[in-house]
Structure 1
Amino acid sequence: MTAAQLPQPLGLRGAAPMRTRARFGDLYAAEWIKLWSLRSTSLTLGAAVALALYFAGSNSAGGTMLATGPSGPIDPNHAAFDGPSWIPSMIGVAMIGALALVGEHASGLIRTTLVAIPERRRLVVAKAGVLASVTAATALVAAVGGLLLAFATTPGDLHGRSLTDPASLDAIGASVAVLPVCALTGMALGALLRHAAATGFAVCAVLGFGPLLIRPDGNRLATDLANVMPYYAWGRLTSAGRGSSGTMTAGEACLILAAWALASIVVTAVVLDRRDV
């Protein structure tokens, strides 16, 4: 055997190619593809918009959302952003956020993803960005469409109300914020529970049963618990205190929604980073 045929020492062999860090845009694109590959995504988002439009038209046409008592004018904002009418949409987008993580654990795709992208926290941020952008766009369509439908179907004089009124713009902005918050909350619950049925029950309990059972009815404890819920923070911003305790300011409502979003991202990142998959 000649010297050229002898195995080379380890230090003389060609160095393995350096692994380049994945760009955030690539992570975002990958999470975007994974989200839309689920058939339930488009169906749920479509149902959320359809329900918002249906309830807005039904409330305004029925004349049940009066602004100032039984003899006052109908407020289209109250018709388009009636609290209980938006709970199904909140639960729906939260389930999308939950399934975006629970589905990956159930199918084993999360292992493949983490082998390709070991930076788990950046992966969570990319997933949260996709969920937030998709659900915010959905909320914008539902809010603007519902409000336009409420204006079109409200009987009687609107007293100069329009889509560009400050109250209407505030309600649209609050709705665009609350659905991403619900989606991120679902993602955090999915990271904690990792089971579809348990996560679905938790989503319904936090975003559906909770606001209906815990109301700001004068009891100090109930009022404090209600004021930290996304549902009542959204209600404070959409209709000047309708459905809230009256003790929450608009600034506090914004902080509550921001805190839920940030906490959900942090919880998901910490759980995914510390748990084995």
Structure 2
Amino acid sequence: MTSYDVFADATCGVRSVAEPRARFLDLVGSEWLKLWSLRSTTWSLLLSALVVVGFNLGTAWDHYRYWFQYDAASRADFVANELALWDAFTGNASMVLVLCASATGAVAVTGEYGTGFVRTAFAAVPARGALMAAKLLVIAGVQTVFGVVAAGLSFWSTQAVLAERGVGLPLTHPGALRIVVASALLAPVCALAGAALGTVLRQSAVSVVGSVVLLLLVPSVLSDERRLSAVFAHATPLHAWQRLVAVGTHGESYPWTTGGAWLVYASWALGAVAVSVVAVRRRDL
């Protein structure tokens, strides 16, 4: 027996060959080629990284430039509260990263629906769930590398600038590595969430807007001052990131642990994968 099942057609006598099922690694390779065949992929990742790093570097440069205009008490407070770590990855940079990553994830899915290529893909690979899982794996992998590069360059550049004033901190400083890792992993988490919305909504513009509402607008209106609002806020990736990058104590009304924040990251990633796979299996084209 070979890997092919050869059989004779009883009616016309034509010998047919049944194609073997595509292996998952083959599907991953196919999705990888599809992603990088688009020129926009490289440019969007490059420009997004530059903007993210630019926001962080700009904040550090501002502190460097006006360092001696602060009074002695303010400079001492900057050092005592380890505010150099706040410059490593700022809130503005996190919002840009969330927007870029979620939009990229959404468009990676909706683009195929818009062109109709998804019909060809599903005709070639009837195992829709496996094909979607391969796509999500590629999206998550690329966005993880993007997040590592953006977060790593941000930390290195900001601390190098602040080191000229003697206040830069090394990666080995307590909490520094957690900030870099949390900022890097925010990208794949949001990209998977965007891909899930793209799978459900199937339209690029609507999916991107939905990503902005779900991942940026909703978290911004949720407050930590009320218990119910805090519960919902703590369940969002953006608030989880804020908890993971926080340094020092801030007297939160409803404090939570870094372990809980990591769990939110994992829940959103796994939930997005589940929603995408189920949606693509259950819904018609």
Query: TM-score, normalised on structure 1?
Result: 0.88
- Match status 1:96 vs 2:111: no
Unaligned runs of 5+ in 2: 1-7
Distance 1:201 1:12 in 2: 55
Distance 2:220 2:13 in 1: 68
Distance 1:177 1:260 in 2: 12
Unaligned runs of 5+ in 1: 1-7
Q: How does 1:101-250 map to 2 (within 5 A)?
A: 101-154=109-162, 156-158=165-167, 161-216=169-224, 218-240=225-247, 247-250=255-258
SS in 2 for 1:63: helix
1:174 deviates by 1.1
Distance 2:52 2:195 in 1: 22
Give the 3 Å change call, closer, same or farther, for CA 229–9 of structure 1 in structure 2: closer
Moved over 3 A (4+): 11-15, 240-246
Q: What CA RMSD, in Å, does the superposition of the two structures yield over aligned residues?
A: 2.5
- Matched residues, number: 266
SS in 1 for 2:269: helix
Distance 1:138 1:112 in 2: 29
CA contact (8 A) 1:235 1:241 kept: no
- Match status 1:35 vs 2:30: no
Post-superposition CA distance 1:10-30 (Å, at most 9, x none): 179455222211111211111
Identity of aligned residues (%): 32
Distance 1:190 1:157 in 2: 47
Post-superposition CA distance 1:220-246 (Å, at most 9, x none): 122111100101111211234789866
Distance 1:178 1:242 in 2: 23
1:178 deviates by 1.3
Query: TM-score, normalised on structure 2?
Result: 0.86
CA contact (8 A) 1:235 1:242 kept: no
1:129 deviates by 0.8
Post-superposition CA distance 1:256-276 (Å, at most 9, x none): 100000110110111111111
Post-superposition CA distance 1:170-218 (Å, at most 9, x none): 11211222110100000000011111221111011112222222232x1
